[in-house]
Amino acid sequence: MIFPAEWSPHEATWIAWPHHEPDWPGKLAPIPWVYAEIARVLHEHERVEIVCHSDEVKAAAEAHLAAHGVRENYRLHIVPNDRVWLRDSGPTGVIGDDGKVALVNWKFNAWAKYDNYERDAQMGAAIARITGLPRIEPRRPDNGERVVLEGGAIETDGAGTMLVTEECLLSPIQARNPGLSREGYETVFRDALGIRQTIWLGEGCVGDDTHGHIDDIARFTAPGVIALAYEDDPADDENHRRSVDNYARLQSAGGAAGALKIVKLPYPRPVIMNGERLPASYANFYIANGVVIVPTFNDRNDRTALNTIAELFPGREIVGIHAVDLVWGLGTLHCLTQQQPLGVGRGAWGVGRGAWGVGRGA
């Protein structure tokens, strides 16, 4: 079993069309246009599977996609849902020893923050039904209960190493799997995802609604290469403190010895709406076949972030997506996408895994 890196070949990208106004209070109107732009970019590189809450939402999606010139390489599916963050409610694609794809279906509890998530909790089963792929429900090693987890909480290099945060999985306020230890999580990761080494960072970014998801702060761009969101300015004391701590942890995990290369990504200046600090981070980029889409914030650091990510993925197109309105929903591009890996034959996987693992931006 292997949890493939995001830069490995995809069969498709899954997204869910926005419809839940409370997720973007007073700002839902522009969000479908952002989604249509995301689909426009992605459909040129891979199929886009779009989940729609109802017939009405499906019709709205079709109209927005047509307006953006998206007329092929996508499919619409009516699946009732509560929110659009498929990175978290959707299943995690893995590759078995036979080269076939399976879906790891974590239990979803809406980040232990919201009451209305019953439909999202069924998203894994719905995607398995649509794709015909087998579904796996990981269990805790201590009590046999289903493991509560989200895709935004885990980040892999595709070669057996994973990044997570203590804030997300171990802090007492996170309420995902009370009592599950660090060692217990690592057992789950080994058995369900084929992970051999888990690197534990500290806290996520300020404003993160998920109790510290890794995908807002640290992302593998190749085995041994990590893009780390890093706030240089001590005046932004909270993100600066967290950045310094996470950098030190990566140094201890192999950076100081040269086993890890740590590339710093800046943060944009704080994005505030109605007095609330939002989790604006360039690290929330999404890697698709041939392209990386990157959230931008009308900030002077947009150019620096885009150039840095372009250097890390020389074989891919880099496309900035305006995310100032999107982040009002407390998430951006990586949070709303979920890749479906491309299955391969047993022999081809052995070759391909090595090729994908070494080829940065392949």
What digits encode the pLDDT tens for the residues 259-283? 999 999 999 999 999 999 999 999 9
DSSP code of residue 316: S
CB burial of 249-270 (b: ≥16 within 10 Å; e: otherwise) equals bbeebbbeeeebbbeebbbbee
Can you list the domains of the chain with their CATH numbers?
10-358 (3.75.10.10)
Q: Which amino acid is at 242?
A: R
Concerning whether 335 is annotated as a catalytic residue, the answer is yes
Q: For residues 5 and 352, is the Cβ–Cβ distance under 8 A?
A: no
- In angstroms, the CA 151 to CA 147 distance is 12
The single residue of 52, 168, 205, 335 carrying the catalytic annotation is 335
Mind listing the pLDDT tens digit for each residue in 292-335?
999 999 999 999 999 999 999 999 999 999 999 999 999 999 99
**pLDDT at 358 > cutoff 70:** no
Q: What pTM did the predictor assign?
A: 0.94
Write down the pLDDT at residue 235. 86
**pLDDT at 347 > cutoff 70:** no
Q: Which amino acid is at 184?
A: G
